């Protein structure tokens, strides 16, 4: 399967313009033969929109999700998009998967980063989902989640071939290390693909690291975006191509063996 990650310009803050940028990225990915596109964290509202994020948050039946479902059906692409969702009066930082057939899967971010997110959102309570699409098995995380080894390991042990991660990684020395080193290490140590979609540029509150990527089970980057500019990355995910790597580095098999012995 061919997938894409879309790195978006955080300076585009108007909703209609953000929708236009998203639609253009998904349409271009479809034209390249991609079956799935990963967009950044809070891609519809913008990450740095502050209290407007929670004020404008909608329910699963709202206009934002309806629009994403229509875009998925129109382009034939599965879409993973970060947005704020409201349920029972609480607002969550959510990664939403929409498929062309109307399937919707939502994951609420568990690890909220700093006072900014903890003020705006309620922490997710459910485990990250694993689902099948186009013959591969995928897991969902959001930004800070992927920096916890156990989150990716948990998805890998549940059968994920790839982990899809909308993010809003800020620009810093630590951000550069996460983008350049942590993401490929997470892919290698779990023998999975990781698609990591970030913002670039800046909004009213934050500057972003860019450097979105698609990492392979051998730790190599199949595609890498620059630090400063919007980009659409595309790569082929073929788990069978990494059988030798998995045999050489049987981390998951060893973990399963240890679990079996301790049961």
What pLDDT, in 10s, does the model give residues 225-235? 999 999 999 99
Predicted local distance difference test score (pLDDT) of residue 257: 87
- In this predicted structure, what is the pLDDT of residue 18? 94
With cut-offs at 50, 70 and 90, classify the pLDDT of residue 212.
very high
Please report which helix (H) or strand (E) contains residue 244, including its range.
Answer: helix 243-248
Domain boundaries, the chain: 2-262
Query: What mean pLDDT is predicted for residues 158-187?
Result: 98
Q: What are phi and psi of 39, to 5 degrees?
A: -110, 165
Contact 179, 211 (CB under 8 A): yes
pLDDT of residue 37: 98
pLDDT in the model for residue 14: 85
Q: What is the pLDDT of residue 183?
A: 98
Encode pLDDT of 51-85 as tens digits.
999 999 999 999 999 999 999 999 999 999 999 99
Average confidence score pLDDT of the chain: 96
| pLDDT confidence tier of residue 102, bands split at 50, 70 and 90 | very high
Mean pLDDT, range 12-31, rounded to an integer: 94
For residue 106, pLDDT over 90 is answered with yes
Closest CA to 245 of 216, 221, 223: 216
Candidates 34, 77, 81, 143; catalytic one: 143
Instruction: Tell me the pLDDT band of 87, cut-offs 50, 70 and 90.
Output: very high
Residue recorded with tokens 């349409």: 27
Q: Which phi and psi (to 5°) does residue 251 adopt?
A: -60, -45
- The predicted pLDDT at position 13 comes to 83
Q: What is the pLDDT of residues 218-261, one digit of tens each?
A: 999 999 999 999 999 999 999 999 999 999 999 999 998 887 66
pTM of the complete model: 0.97
pLDDT on residue 261: 61
Architecture of domain 2-262: 4-Layer Sandwich (3.60)
Is 41 part of the annotated catalytic residue set? yes
Tell me the C-alpha distance between 130 and 161, whole Å.
10
Question: Which residues, 6+ apart, have CB-to-CB distance to 23 below 8 Å?
Answer: 71
Q: Which of 69, 77, 109, 200 is catalytic?
A: 109
Q: What dihedral angle (degrees, nearest 10) is formed by the CA atoms of 148, 113, 140, 110?
A: 90
- How far is it, in rounded angstroms, from Cα 58 to Cα 200? 25
Catalytic one of 41, 69, 77, 171 = 41
Q: What is the pLDDT of residues 23-40, one digit of tens each?
A: 999 999 999 999 999 999
Can you give the pLDDT at residue 262? 54
Active site residue 147: no
Q: Is 253 a catalytic residue?
A: no
């Amino acid at each position: 399967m061919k997938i894409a990650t879309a790195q978006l310009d955080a300076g585009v803050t108007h909703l209609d313009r953000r929708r236009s940028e998203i639609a253009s990225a998904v349409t271009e990915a479809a034209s390249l033969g991609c079956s799935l596109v990963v967009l950044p964290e809070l891609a519809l509202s913008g990450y740095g929109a502050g209290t407007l994020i929670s004020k404008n948050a909608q329910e699963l039946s709202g206009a934002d999700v309806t629009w994403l479902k229509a875009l998925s059906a129109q382009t034939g692409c599965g879409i993973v998009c970060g947005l704020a969702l409201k349920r029972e009066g609480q607002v969550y930082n959510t990664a939403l998967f929409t498929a062309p057939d109307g399937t919707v899967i939502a994951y609420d971010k568990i690890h909220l980063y700093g006072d900014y997110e903890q003020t705006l959102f309620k922490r997710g309570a459910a485990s990250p989902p694993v689902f099948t699409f186009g013959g591969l098995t995928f897991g969902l995380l959001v930004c800070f989640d992927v920096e916890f080894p156990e989150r990716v390991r948990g998805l890998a042990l549940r059968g994920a071939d790839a982990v899809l991660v909308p993010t809003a990684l800020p620009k810093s020395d630590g951000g550069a290390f996460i983008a350049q080193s942590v993401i490929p290490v997470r892919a290698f140590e779990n023998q999975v693909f990781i698609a990591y979609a970030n913002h670039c540029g800046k909004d009213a509150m934050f500057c972003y690291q860019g450097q979105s990527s698609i990492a392979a089970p051998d730790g190599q980057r199949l595609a890498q975006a620059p630090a400063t500019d919007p980009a659409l990355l595309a790569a082929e995910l073929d788990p069978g191509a990494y059988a030798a790597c998995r045999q050489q580095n049987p981390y998951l098999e060893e973990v399963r063996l240890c679990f079996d012995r301790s049961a």
